[in-house]
Structure 1
Amino acid sequence: MDPDLSELTELIPLDPTQFIGIPLALIGAVFLSLGAQFQHRGVVKVEANTADTLGKGLNGKQLALLLARPSWVLGTLMLGLAIVFQLSSLYFAPLIVVQPLGALALVITSIMNSRINKVKLNRKSITAIAMCVGGVFVFVGVAAFTAVDKPVQSRQLITILIVLAVVLAAAGITFALFRRRIRAVFYVIMAGVIYGFVATLAKVVLSRVQQGSSTG
């Protein structure tokens, strides 16, 4: 082999199997967006039929109506498939490669909502979507050729769990003290943070399963 090529392969840890995770993550993002859209449609219809219970939380009647709505059930199944595809992508590829692709679900949802509600996207929205898609693909493209999937050691796992416990405790205290003044952005941020921890812990579990199967 050419010495220059051998040095290049050492610098860029190419693993063909990790590229399988990219299309799996893209499919998962599509199912995530479609599932959320169908679930939302079912929730809207149930809320219209139970307007007298709005603001009182989810009750048994509403849950039964949701289970009877084909759109909500279909959306739930799609979200389940999204989880399966995302976990499969994490099995093949490093977290840093496939996780950013989940942001494309927001792009797909924005385009779908504009079509459903017949609201034309303005220039700023189109520019933002283009920058989001371009940035994600550039980041994933670079990460796919440079990322190394290293196993998380027990000490590192303990650190992750401690940080997660601190975040959950802080979120719980904030919710308890300022529940009536909390804006929607708080829930959005916390959902994103917790989603990141879930993906990280899922990757840890999958990595240990891989290590167990390879040493078994």
Structure 2
Amino acid sequence: MIWAVVLALVGAFCLALGSALQERDAIRAPGGSVARISFLWHLVRRPRWLLGALAAAVGVGLHLAALSAAPLTIIQPIGVSGLLFAIVLSALFSRQRVRASQLLAGVAVMVGLVGIITLFPHGADSPMLPLSAAVTLASGVVAAGGVGYLVAPWLPAGARAILLAAFGGAALGTTSALARVIAVQAVADLAAVFSWLTVLAGAVAVFGGLLQQNAYRTGHFAAAYATLLVVDPVVGAGIGVLVLGEHVPTGPLEQALAAGAALLAIAGTTVLARAKHRNPEAAHPGTASSPSNVVRTTPGDSP
């Protein structure tokens, strides 16, 4: 059990490190306030961004290894500690001081998310999801995210960070739900990995990654990462409950506590979004922009 906890902590740090490294290249990449998908092609050719992707992949692997030896109720809350790692690392890379208000807001998000994760029951039958239902689900998430993508350039940077991270988190949460179905099917038949469901999960993951990197591009990394940490598991759990037949808190006390935890996480995220701390490189979004990559720029690009 102890080594599983250590793995989860190291995994949370690796995920935070990967995201903090990716933020720097996301900010410097050419494009407007919200870049197009060619933006991802630019990023995958940047050594530091790839290093961040590798660190994130190691983090995911360690997290899965920890889950193999300890319950979800123990490991998932530990993973949320990555938010504080991310806030500190981002400030270190941008050579700025970490404000006490940021740390307190980060703790609020962590406590809220830990409450949500802990209060939801984790027992469930093997999930079943027909391909037609998966396509409908993925299409709805992508359509909603597409609307957010079009609206985002008109918003101030802080609000844009939260909006894009929220839709990115929804896409990644949907990917997690699809991945769970694939993983369960693969236990019985490894060939299940090579299916249209896997292709669909990959496409939604790429779309979520585009929104996530554009959220980092705003310079409000702490708010974007906090939003991602909240929305991703909440959407994944929501799909589990509404589509895959997983369970929810049934008692009035548990429901009230879960609602309070959600409000605490939302409040902490709002504080992070309104914080004056912002990566200074994001103050000039026109950096190295090219007309082919620009969606649009607006007064909302100012800090």
On whether the aligned pair clears a TM of 0.5, the verdict is yes
Cα deviation for residue 61 of structure 1 reads: 11
Indicate conservation of the 8 Å contact 1:98/1:140, yes or no. no
Q: Which amino acid aligns with 2:175?
A: V
In structure 1, the partner of 2:46 is 66
In structure 1, the partner of 2:19 is 36
Select 2:99's aligned residue among 121, 142, 149: 121
Indicate conservation of the 8 Å contact 1:38/1:75, yes or no. yes
Indicate conservation of the 8 Å contact 2:9/2:78, yes or no. yes
Asked if 1:151 is matched to 2:131, the reply is: no
Indicate conservation of the 8 Å contact 1:39/1:72, yes or no. yes
* CA distance, structure 1, for counterparts of residue 185 and residue 42 of structure 2: 40
Cα deviation for residue 79 of structure 1 reads: 1.9
More relative contact order, 1 or 2 (CA 8 Å, 6+ apart): 2
Q: For structure 1, list consecutive stretches of 5 or more residues without a partner in the other structure.
A: 1-15
In structure 1, the partner of 2:139 is 165
Indicate conservation of the 8 Å contact 2:149/2:164, yes or no. no
Q: Which amino acid aligns with 1:181?
A: W
Indicate conservation of the 8 Å contact 1:38/1:72, yes or no. yes
Q: Which amino acid aligns with 2:154?
A: R
Select 1:189's aligned residue among 152, 166, 175: 166
Higher helix share: 1
**Structure 1 pair 89/197, CA: closer, same or farther in 2 (3 Å)?**
farther
SS at match of 2:106: helix
* CA distance, structure 2, for counterparts of residue 147 and residue 101 of structure 1: 16
How big is each residue's C-alpha offset from its partner over 1:84-142, in whole Å with a ceiling of 9 and x where there is no partner? 334545667787775565543222111223445341422x3333333333444455555
How big is each residue's C-alpha offset from its partner over 1:140-177, in whole Å with a ceiling of 9 and x where there is no partner? 5556xx5214211235x75454222112123335545x
Q: Which has the larger radius of gyration?
A: 1
Indicate conservation of the 8 Å contact 1:34/1:78, yes or no. yes
Cα deviation for residue 191 of structure 1 reads: 0.6
SS at match of 1:154: coil
* CA distance, structure 1, for counterparts of residue 74 and residue 133 of structure 2: 22
* CA distance, structure 1, for counterparts of residue 123 and residue 145 of structure 2: 33
In structure 2, the partner of 1:202 is 179
Q: How many residues align?
A: 182
**Structure 1 pair 80/170, CA: closer, same or farther in 2 (3 Å)?**
same
Identity %: 21
Q: Which amino acid aligns with 2:184?
A: S
In structure 2, the partner of 1:131 is 108
State the TM-score, normalizing by the size of structure 1: 0.60
Cα deviation for residue 204 of structure 1 reads: 1.5
Q: Which amino acid aligns with 1:150?
A: D
* CA distance, structure 2, for counterparts of residue 167 and residue 61 of structure 1: 23
State the TM-score, normalizing by the size of structure 2: 0.46
Indicate conservation of the 8 Å contact 2:44/2:50, yes or no. no
Cα deviation for residue 33 of structure 1 reads: 0.6
**Structure 1 pair 20/163, CA: closer, same or farther in 2 (3 Å)?**
farther
Indicate conservation of the 8 Å contact 2:8/2:79, yes or no. yes
Indicate conservation of the 8 Å contact 2:4/2:69, yes or no. yes
Indicate conservation of the 8 Å contact 1:89/1:98, yes or no. yes
1:10-89 alignment, distance < 5 Å: 24-42=7-25, 47=28, 55=32, 66-67=46-47, 71-88=48-65
Indicate conservation of the 8 Å contact 1:37/1:109, yes or no. yes
